Amino acid sequence: MRRRSLLAATLAAPALPAFAQARTLRLIVPFPPGGTVDLLGRLVQPELEQRLGQTVVVENRPGAGGMIGSDVVAKAPVDAGVLVISNIASHGVGAAVIRAMPYDPLRDFTHIGLIAAVPSALGVSATGRFATLAQFIDAARASPGAVRVGSSGNGTTGHAKTEMLARAAGVELTHVPYRGAAPAVTDVIGGQTEGVIAAVADIGRNDRLRLLAITSAERAARWPDVPTFKELGYPTLEANNWFGLSGPAGMDPAVAARINAALVAALATPAMAQRLADFGTTPNRMTPADYTALVASELPRWARIVQEANIRAD
């Protein structure tokens, strides 16, 4: 039945360039399995497959804060049938942190649509000594550099927000980069580091972590007891992570529109809305132009933040 429905959808689709006619589409997830980017990629994969009438294969290509996998798509031929889960790390913060970026986040991609905007949080061990953000900051103030904060990698939003928090609080925090959020969480639980800043989808579901503060403008419905950084006196930490779908530069607008329509239709389903609620977010449907404008607006914002906080890649 599934093969017949895929075949019927393919036959019913209008003639489009080679990208849209490829039997298999590769969806690059530029982070390791298990994290927010991977989970969102695997969430949209079957939806795209069903609506496009093409096989969609998820391929994890982690490293360098999402840049290795993103560069695969940036360098791919326009008709290669490859997409990437673009995100705030690989297409926002990284462009400001990494001087020798292998691609241009705008010029080298066709941005198709937003999947979700997800807040970050500072998580600590649920059985550890920190019950509040004030206690965490006091410890950092008492022992400069002794409080270690993990993130999903150099140049990621977790890295940027660690440095932003240190600067706003006037303390020295030691940033510890990992290849994804999962190992960063493991080390907090194991006591190798004192905290982790990552998307709530990565850390809010783990009952062995305690969330001290969240980066959203208001408290999240799923974590009503977790205060925002803003209400605790750190308004610069108000910033969501965004995740979307992008392809190589120069994609035919009709192809981008077709993929966007499939994504928007998927986000409109009650089942998808419920799944995204588990990530602490709601669907935010965008056209290709809307998503391109979002990426364009985020680049100067993070460039300013990185410069002010003196963030470095290593």
Q: What whole-number distance in Å separates Cα of residue 106 and Cα of residue 202?
A: 27
Give the model's pLDDT for residue 41.
Answer: 95
In this prediction, residue 2 has a pLDDT band, given cuts at 50, 70 and 90, of: very low
* Amino acid residing at 177: P
Q: Which two tokens stand for residue 112?
A: 């198709």
pLDDT over threshold 70, residue 75: yes
Give the model's pLDDT for residue 74.
Answer: 98
- Alpha carbon 166 to chain centroid distance? 22
Q: What angle do CA 151, 154, 159 make, to 5 degrees?
A: 50
Give the model's pLDDT for residue 7.
Answer: 37
pLDDT over threshold 60, residue 3: no
Summarised one tens digit per residue, pLDDT across range 90-101 is 999 988 888 789
Give the model's pLDDT for residue 32.
Answer: 85
Q: Which helix (H) or strand (E) holds 95?
A: helix 94-97
pLDDT over threshold 70, residue 14: no
Parallel/antiparallel/unpaired status of strands 174-177 and 148-151: parallel
Instruction: Tell which residue, 291, 301, 305, has the closest CA to residue 117.
Output: 291
Summarised one tens digit per residue, pLDDT across range 189-242 is 999 999 999 989 888 888 999 999 999 988 888 899 999 999 999 998 998 899
- Model pTM score: 0.82
Q: What is the DSSP letter of 227?
A: P
Of residues 33 and 261, more confidence is placed in: 261
The answer to whether residues 157 and 236 touch, using CB atoms and an 8 Å cutoff, is no
Q: What whole-number distance in Å separates Cα of residue 74 and Cα of residue 77?
A: 8
Give the model's pLDDT for residue 9.
Answer: 43
Entry field: residues in the chain: 314
pLDDT over threshold 60, residue 256: yes
pLDDT over threshold 80, residue 311: no
Give the model's pLDDT for residue 18.
Answer: 64
* Amino acid residing at 308: E
The answer to whether residues 193 and 122 touch, using CB atoms and an 8 Å cutoff, is no
Summarised one tens digit per residue, pLDDT across range 112-162 is 999 999 999 999 999 999 999 999 999 999 999 999 999 988 777 898 899
Q: What whole-number distance in Å separates Cα of residue 106 and Cα of residue 15?
A: 28
- The H helix count followed by the E strand count for the chain is 13, 9
Give the model's pLDDT for residue 202.
Answer: 83
Give the model's pLDDT for residue 295.
Answer: 97
Q: Which two tokens stand for residue 157?
A: 């939003």
The answer to whether residues 124 and 194 touch, using CB atoms and an 8 Å cutoff, is yes
Contacts 24+ apart (CB under 8 A), 301-304: 301/92, 302/88, 302/92, 302/93, 302/95, 302/96, 302/160, 303/95, 303/96
Q: What is the DSSP letter of 65?
A: G
CA dihedral sign of residues 221, 224, 226, 229: positive
